Amino acid sequence: MTNRKYIVGNWKMNGMQAQLSDIAAIAEIAEQHGEIDVAICPPVTLIAAAATKCPQFAIGAQDCHQSSSGAHTGCVSAEMIREAGALLSILGHSERRADQYETDADVKAKAEAVKAAGLGAIICVGETEEERDDGRAVEVVCGQLEGSFPDEADADWLTIAYEPVWAIGTGRVPETSDVKEMHEAIRNKIGKLMGDGAEKVRILYGGSMNGGNAAELLSVPNVDGGLVGGSSLTADKFGPIIDAAAKL
Ligand SMILES: O=C[C@H](O)COP(=O)(O)O
């Protein structure tokens, strides 16, 4: 079975009001490709404006808190991002796991909060270069997946993103055979964690995906889409990735 491709742009800490026109241009390209799903996750400051400007297009958040309200200075809840217009949230990105000391348990709690709010979740997992060099990549990624995996998972709202930390923003991409091995391992692990329906959970690849390598990466078995950083910031760069996915 082949899942519908899903291409998600993670703008990280990039984007001011002036860049709303880029989101509108990306939304226009996405609209021409109804056979795939496309979303952009801008900084939280742009969610409401982007959702208002592009009401037919999926806007997401890059994180949210596991509690619905309370004394958590600087945080936003799943309900808050939903009210702002988000339809999904990225969770457990390696930059947050590293910078904010997010644990697997935190990511799992956030995923369950996101589900309760009626949003989609993209849970990120990935090994460091040292872990890969030690031959522990699959073990580490499957361990993260197990620890972060929500109870009552369902493909309707849950997506997994495999992002080797050493490939993020570096221009380095794993060998196709390594991507294949890891996505197959993730698929099998999801099967053990949730049983029926595991084959429908989409598994995205992330890390230096661009218009030149997208077709090859997206053709790997069990790669159901991409989580794209730098190359999602403009329609010029993101458009070719959307086009490549739509052709598969
Ligand atoms: O969430 C996106 C990833 O971290 C990939 O970023 P990148 O495409 O800039 O390597």
Q: What is the pLDDT of residues 104-135, one digit of tens each?
A: 999 999 999 999 999 999 999 999 999 999 99
| For residues 221-234, average pLDDT | 98
pLDDT at 99: 82
CATH of region 6-247, choose from 3.40.50.300, 3.20.20.70, 3.30.450.20, 3.30.9.10: 3.20.20.70
From residue 235, how far is each of 27, 154, 188, 231 by CA, in Å?
9, 31, 35, 9
**Which one from 95, 102, 127, 163 is the annotated catalytic residue?**
163
Is 208 annotated to bind a ligand? Reply is yes
Extract long-range pairs of 185-191: CB within 8 Å, 24+ residues apart: 185/138, 185/141, 185/142, 186/125, 186/141, 186/142, 186/145, 186/160, 186/162, 186/222, 187/222, 189/142, 189/145, 189/146, 190/145, 190/149, 190/153, 190/160
pLDDT at 238: 98
**Ligand 1 mean position to 167 CA, how many Å?**
8
pLDDT at 188: 97
Q: Is 93 a catalytic residue?
A: yes
Give the global pTM: 0.97
pLDDT at 2: 83
The share of the chain scoring above pLDDT 70, in percent, equals 100
pLDDT at 100: 82
**Ligand 1 mean position to 70 CA, how many Å?**
31
Q: How far is CA 201 from the centre of its chain?
A: 12
pLDDT class of 1 with cuts at 50, 70, 90: low
| For residues 54-66, average pLDDT | 98
What residue owns the CA closest to ligand 1's atom 7? 229
Is 143 annotated to bind a ligand? Reply is no
| For residues 84-111, average pLDDT | 95
Q: What are phi and psi of 59, to 5 degrees?
A: -110, 135
Mean pLDDT for all residues in the chain: 97
Q: Please report, for the chain, the start and end positions of each structural domain, with discontinuous segments joined by +.
A: 6-247
Is 169 annotated to bind a ligand? Reply is yes
The residues lining ligand 1, judged by C-beta closer than 6 Å to any ligand atom, are 10, 93, 163, 168-169, 206-209, 227-231
Quote the CA–CA distance of 125 and 205 in Å, as a whole number.
10
Q: Which of 8, 209, 234 to mutate to test the pocket of ligand 1 (most atoms within 8 A of CB)?
A: 209
Estimate the share of the chain in helix, then strand, then coil, as percent rounded to the nearest 5.
Answer: 45, 15, 40
Quote the CA–CA distance of 154 and 158 in Å, as a whole number.
6
The ipTM (two decimal places) reads 0.99
